[in-house]
Amino acid sequence: MSITHNGFSAQRRLVLKGAGTVALIGLGAGLGVIAFDPRQAFAAANDKYPEEAFKQKNEADAIKALYGKTAEPSDKVKMDAPEIAENGAVVPISVTTTLEDVTSISFLVSENPNALVASYKIPAGTVPSVANRIKMAKTSNVIVVVEAGGKLYSATKEVKVTVGGCGG
């Protein structure tokens, strides 16, 4: 809760009560947040939809926009992904980790037009494990980032995406 997603320190002050709410609305509109709930202002500063992070082209920029830090590879982050996706439109990827105090898990695909695909908030009491289905434009590295105890850890796997055939 102490770390903001986009490292925008002004936001940290705005989380505090007061007239900041009006300014926050302006900030929210600027960032493209659709459904603004004032309660969110008093909750963790990282409750906003990370619009900027989703707009980044490459994974390094997306991770920076999302977390404001860089990740180090860790074998404690276990990713399950296919060798060859049956179809780039629906690629099942899941991740699980033995790391503790996990607060966030994100999925990125380096060769996608926008690298960040999904980011999940893991409140205390939620198991740090997620399964989802993502789109991959072509053969690419899939990167999973886990935020645990304030630090970032990652795992990477190449998933091949083929095009063409006749259908099974």
Partner 1 sequence: MNARSAIPLASAALALLALAFVVPAATAADTVDPVADAKAFQKFFTDKFPKLKPEDFVNGPYSMNEDLHRQWEEKEQFPPYEFSLEAGKEMFTKPFKNGKSFEDCFPNKGIGIRQNYPYFDEKEGKVVTLELALNRCREASGEAPLSYVRDDMAALTAYMAFTSRGKPMDIKLPNDPRALEAYQQGKEYFYTRRGQLNFSCATCHVQSPGERIRAEVLAPALGILNAMPIYRSEWSGMGTTSRRFTTCNSQIRGVPLDPQADEYRDLEYYLSYVSNGLPISGPGARP
Partner 2 sequence: MASTIRVRATSNGDTTEVQALIQHPMDSGFVKDAKGDIIPAHFIQELTFEYDGKAVFVADWGGGVSKDPYVKFAFKGGKKGDDLKVSWVDNKGATDTTTAKIQ
Residues near partner 1, by CB under 8 A = 82-87, 89-92, 94, 131, 133, 162-168
Q: For the chain, first and last CA: distance in Å?
A: 49
Nearest by Cα to 31 from 43, 17, 14, 16: 14
The entry of partner 1, partner 2, none near residue 122 (CB within 5 to 8 angstroms by kind) is partner 2
Would you say 19 or 113 has its CB closer to partner 2? 113
Asked if residues 96 and 78 have their Cβ atoms less than 8 Å apart, the reply is yes
Binding mask 10-49 for partner 2 (x = CB under 8 A): ------------------------xx-----------x-x
Instruction: Please state the three-class secondary structure of 47-95 as a single string.
Output: HCCCHHHHHCCCHHHHHHHHHCCCCEECCCEEEECCCEECCCCCEEEEE
The entry of partner 2, partner 1, none near residue 119 (CB within 5 to 8 angstroms by kind) is partner 2
- When binding is defined by CB under 8 A, the residue of 14, 81, 130, 143 that contacts partner 2 is 130
Instruction: Verify binding: residue 4, partner 2, rule CB under 8 A.
Output: no
Nearest by Cα to 127 from 154, 94, 153: 94
Binding site for partner 2 (CB under 8 A): 34-35, 47, 49-50, 54, 89-91, 94, 109, 112-114, 116-123, 125-127, 129-135
